[in-house]
Amino acid sequence: MADHAAKAALYDALAESAKALANGRRAELVDVLAQGERSVEELAAEIDQTLANTSQHLQRLLRSGLVQSRREGTRIYYSLASEVVGDLWRTMRRAAQEHVSGLEQLAADYLGDRSKLRTITRDVLRSRLRDGDVVVLDVRPEAEYAAGHIRGAISIPIHDLRSRLGDIPDGAEVVAYCRGPFCVFADEAVRMLSRKGISAARLEDGFPEWNQAHLPVARS
C-alpha cells in the first residue's frame, strides 16, 4: 500500500503553484508578465510597490518555478516560465469570477460602470481586421506592445491618448484593448474617445487571450 506521507508530499508539491499565487501583488505581477518580459523596476512601478517588496515577490514566484529571470548589465528581467503559467492565471481568474462572492462589485468599484461601453468579441474583431474597416488601438505601455500585439494594431499608450487623438483617422471606428478583462486602460480609452465623438468599443478581454486563441499577432 502506498505511503501516505509520500502522497502528502506529492500533493504539497502540486499545491506549490497555487500557494505562490495566493497573494494579490504576485497575481498582479503574473498578470503583467503575461504581456511579456519586464524589468524589476518596471514591475515595481506597475504594481505600486517598492523595489525591495517587488523583488521579494518575484523571488517567491521564481522559487515556485512560475517565472524565470535573466540579467542584462545591471538590470534583471523577468518573464513567465511558460505559457502554462498564463493558462493557470486565466483559469484561476475565471474560477474567481464564477465562484467568489462580491467579486463583481469589487470589479465595478475599480473599473467603473461598463454598462454603456460597447464591447466587441475576438471573432468579430478578426473579421473586421480582415475587412480593414477598423482602427485597433493597443493602449498598454510601449514595452508590452513591442513584446507582442494584435497584428495591425497601433500603439498609443493610455497616458498619451489625449495628446495623440490626431493620429486617429477622421470617421474611423476604433477598438481599444489592453491586458485582459480587468484592465482599466481600454475602458478609459473608450470613454475618452466617445466624449470626443469618436465611435469606439473595447475588446472583450485582452492581448493574452487573443494570443492564446492563436489569432494573428506581431512583435516589434
Neighbours of 89 (CB within 10 A): 21
Set 20, 147, 178, 198: catalytic member:
178
In the prediction, which pLDDT does 1 show? 57
Is position 100 within any domain?
A: no
Radius of gyration, CA atoms only, the chain: 19
Residue 183 annotated among the catalytic residues of the structure: no
Q: Which residue, 53, 72, 87, sits at the end of a domain? A: 87
Q: How many angstroms separate the CA atoms of 29 and 32, rounded?
A: 5
Residue 104 lies in a domain: no
Predicted model pTM: 0.89
Same domain membership, residue 204 and residue 120: yes
Domain that holds residue 43: 4-87
What does the pLDDT read at residue 3? Answer: 82
pLDDT per residue as tens digits for the range 171-192 = 999 999 999 999 999 999 999 9
- Is the same domain home to 119 and 173? yes
Could you tell me if 82 and 122 lie in one domain? no
Domain annotation covers residue 201: yes
pLDDT tens digit sequence for 143-176: 999 999 999 999 999 999 999 999 999 999 999 9
CA 170 – CA 82 distance, rounded (Å): 41
Query: In which residue ranges of the chain is pLDDT below 70?
Result: 1-2
